[in-house]
Amino acid sequence: MFKNKVILQILDYYKDLWALSYTSAIAHWDLETYMPQMGASARGEALGRLSVIRQKMFLDQNFVSLLHKAEGIKQMTDQERGVVRILLRSLKYYEKLPSDFIEDFERLTNTATVIWREAKEKNNFKIFEKSLSKIFDMNKQAAEYLGYEDSPYDALLDQYEEGLTSSSVQNFFDGIKSPLQELLNKITTSSKYFKTHPLETAKYDKHKMSELNDKVLKYLWKDFGQNFRLDTSAHPFTTSFSNNDTRITTWYHEQDFGRSLLAVIHEFGHALYDLQSAPELEMTPIGGGSSLVIHESQSRFWENFVGRSGEFISHFKKDFDSVISTSSASRKQLSVGSYHSYFNKVRPSLLRVEADEVTYHFHIMLRFEIERGLIEGRFKISDLREVWNSKMKAYLGIVPKNDSEGVLQDIHWSGGAVGYFPTYSLGTFLGAQWESQIKNLKLKIKNYEQTEQWLEKHIHQYGSTYTLEDLLKKNEMTFNPSVNLKYLEEKYSGLYGF
Ligand code: MG
């Protein structure tokens, strides 16, 4: 795997950088799960200092010259090439963005997240407008520092998915927009369309729900509890400290139990990628996944093709029954069919995180168009609320009544992330391609251990060795959105009877 002397020297030095990232990751995880609120300012300071130390260590002259030396090596293994590729990407970031710019951005986004929370609570975009304006200005500036060919937005997209461009994302959305609109139209005009489902408001017992989540994870992964655990946070996420210590979180709303459960299964998909990354890649820059599109293809694969499946629902039906309080749902509502229609409902809604498999992508298109328009200077932050609402009306036929359900709903911008959203849709579409690969081989997804082995062999073991494009090549695939479109069409025409 790693033989080249220069690479071995790089990897040896890298272990210190890895240790810093490892420590920061634990501090972040703790901040999101168990830290008492008042610990926030010291934690922020510690994390800020750790990132400055990491940058300094990364820019160590000897290390940088080793990296440049490695750049010129012709004969390398795929893993060695992966190490060099990933480290040169970080180097580009550290070298092109001035350190006071990075610091200012860090400070701005730390404060902006607090301001965003207040604005969201008070339902008032005006409170957040100035900060958001600065965040977009600084992102524009970052794009200039980082460089781009066609659009400054390309430089930002590339930060989240290597090589992603505005025009490739635009092509993707152009191709899926009308088929999804037609499908949504057929669903909402079908006689089986429903606007509410009793299970959405059925209350559940939080303690029982958390036991169910554990049981599901144990069912999907026999070492659950040994190399991987579940906790609670304000928003579900996955983090990985090593391939023997991966953490996921979920949330509990005390009703609408599917939100908690599907979040668990979604995050399990992310966790599995890191858990099954080859042990030889531990403590190297390519351990675990770094492509957000590949990562999301894993989480969506488990969420959509396992969590929403009839087989899975039938298996856990009795457990679902016992979680839901009988006073808030009648017996009839607790049938396999009822659970299935609940897990697979399609309905235009205001919040991205609650969106279904069909409408989800309109939420992403809207964000992509807004980000690109702002970065390319086609409209201003002061137009944002109006643009948001008119696009919601055009795509989903509904308009938010207030800013919290509209322009203020996502945390991403307040944290400085512009260019992140498209990876969600691209990953979801790729997830359907993995499912079709597995099906074509006549393997049964519900044979979870076998499915996990397949994913390990074709995706996970490589960690970040390959770019998205190269991983697909290795699997003799190309990105093909028609696979997911066909799956959605077949599934929902069956469910909604058209
Ligand atoms: Mg995800």
Half-sphere exposure of 160 (CA within 13 A, CB side): 23
What is the whole-number distance in angstroms between the Cα of residue 316 and the centre of ligand 1? 23
CATH of domain 166-496: 1.10.1370.30
Are residues 116 and 414 in contact, defined by beta-carbon separation less than 8 angstroms? yes
The rounded Å distance from CA 445 to ligand 1 centre is 20
Strand partners of residue 232:
250
Q: What is the pLDDT of residues 258-290, one digit of tens each?
A: 999 999 999 999 999 999 999 999 999 999 999
User: What's the mean per-residue pLDDT of the chain?
Assistant: 95
3-state DSSP assignment of residue 354: helix
Give the pLDDT of residue 277: 97
DSSP string for 61-126: HHHHHHHHHHHT-----HHHHHHHHHHHHHHHHHHHS-HHHHHHHHHHHHHHHHHHHHHHHTT-HH
Cβ neighbourhood burial of 395 (10 Å; 0-12, 13-18, 19+)? buried
Task: Return the active site residues.
Answer: 267
Residue 326 has pLDDT above 80, yes or no: no
CB neighbours of 210 closer than 8 A, spacing ≥ 6?
230, 232, 252
DSSP 114-183: HHHHHHHHTT-HHHHHHHHHHHHHHHHHHHHHH--SS-HHHHHHHHHSTT--HHHHHHHHHHHHHHHHHH
Please report which helix (H) or strand (E) contains residue 228, including its range.
Answer: strand 228-232
Query: What is the tens place of the pLDDT at every residue in 455-465?
Result: 999 999 999 99
Where is 442: in which H helix or E strand?
none
Task: Tell how far the Cα of 291 is from the centroid of ligand 1, in angstroms.
Answer: 12
Band of the pLDDT at 370, cuts 50, 70, 90? very high
Confidence check: pLDDT of 197 > 80: yes
pLDDT one-digit tens code per residue, 422-436: 999 999 999 999 999
d(C-alpha 197, C-alpha 395), whole Å: 23
Distance 299 CA to ligand 1 centre (A): 6
What's the half-sphere exposure (Cβ side, CA atoms, 13 Å) at 157? 26
**CA–CA separation, 239 and 273 (whole Å):** 11
pLDDT of residue 460: 98
Mean pLDDT of 223-229: 96
pLDDT band at 107 (very low <50, low <70, confident <90, very high): confident
3-state secondary structure of 266: helix
**pLDDT bracket for residue 329 (50, 70, 90):** low
* Residue range 434-458, pLDDT digits in tens: 999 999 999 999 999 999 999 999 9
User: What is the rounded distance in angstroms from the CA atom of residue 260 to the CA atom of residue 262?
Assistant: 6
Is there a contact between 83 and 284 (Cβ–Cβ < 8 Å)? yes
Lookup: tokens for 71:
């750049």
Long-range contacts of 367-373 (CB under 8 A, 24+ apart): 367/410, 367/421, 368/169, 368/173, 368/421, 368/422, 371/153, 371/156, 371/418, 371/419, 371/421, 372/151, 372/153, 372/166
List the 238-242 sheet strands across, edge first. 228-232, 245-250, 238-242
pLDDT of residue 37: 84
Q: What is the mean pLDDT of residues 179-200?
A: 96
- What is the CA(141)–ligand 1 centre distance, in A? 28
| Ligand 1: centre distance to CA 189 (Å) | 31
Confidence at 44, pLDDT banded by 50, 70, 90: confident
**What is the b/e burial string over 298-323, where b = at least 16 CB atoms within 10 angstroms of the residue's CB?**
bbbbbbbbbbbbeebbeebeeebeeb
User: Which of 222, 190, 312, 207 lies closest to 260 in space, CA to CA?
Assistant: 207
Locus of tokens 């909604």:
496
Residue 41's pLDDT is 85
- The answer, yes or no, to whether residue 238 has pLDDT greater than 90, is yes
Q: Give residue 408's pLDDT.
A: 97
- CA 425 to ligand 1 centroid distance, Å: 10
Q: Are 343 and 316 in contact (CB under 8 A)?
A: no
Give ∠ CA 493-495-498 in degrees, rounded to 5.
35
Q: What's the Cα-to-Cα distance from 390 to each of 26, 94, 497, rounded to whole Å?
A: 41, 39, 31
Q: How many CB atoms lie within 10 A of CB 87?
A: 24
Query: Who wins on pLDDT, 497 or 103?
Result: 497
Mean pLDDT of the 148-161 span: 97
- How much distance in Å is there from the Cα of 267 to the middle of ligand 1? 6
Question: What does the alpha-carbon distance between residue 9 and residue 239 come to, in Å, rounded to a whole number?
Answer: 28
Answer whether residue 332 shows pLDDT above 90: no
Tokens in use for 162?
């290597």
Going from the Cα of 202 to the center of ligand 1, the distance in angstroms, rounded, reads 26
Residues 6+ positions from 222 with CB-CB distance below 8 Å: none
What percent of the chain clears pLDDT 90, i.e. is strictly above it?
Answer: 92
Query: Residue 330 C-alpha to ligand 1 middle, in angstroms?
Result: 33
**Which residues have a Cβ under 8 Å from the Cβ of 17 and sit 6 or more positions away?**
54, 57, 58
Q: For residue 236, report the distance from its CA to the centre of ligand 1, in Å.
A: 9
How many CB atoms sit inside 10 A of residue 42's CB?
Answer: 10
By percentage, how much of the chain surpasses pLDDT 70? 99
Where residue 325 falls among pLDDT bands split at 50, 70, 90? confident
266 alpha carbon – ligand 1 mean position (Å):
7
The CA 298 to ligand 1 mean position distance, Å, reads 8
Cα separation, 289 vs 466, whole angstroms: 10
Alpha-carbon distance 88 to 63, whole Å? 11
Please tell me the distance between residue 328's alpha carbon and the centre of ligand 1 in angstroms.
Answer: 31
Q: State residue 89's pLDDT score.
A: 96
Distance from the alpha carbon of residue 451 to the mean position of ligand 1, in angstroms: 19
Between CA 261 and CA 249 the distance in angstroms is: 11
Give the residue among 176, 225, 249, 205 at the shortest CA–CA distance from 29: 249
Q: How far apart are CA 465 and CA 475, in angstroms?
A: 14
Locate CATH 1.10.1370.30 in the chain. Answer: 166-496
Query: Looking at residue 328, what is its pLDDT?
Result: 64
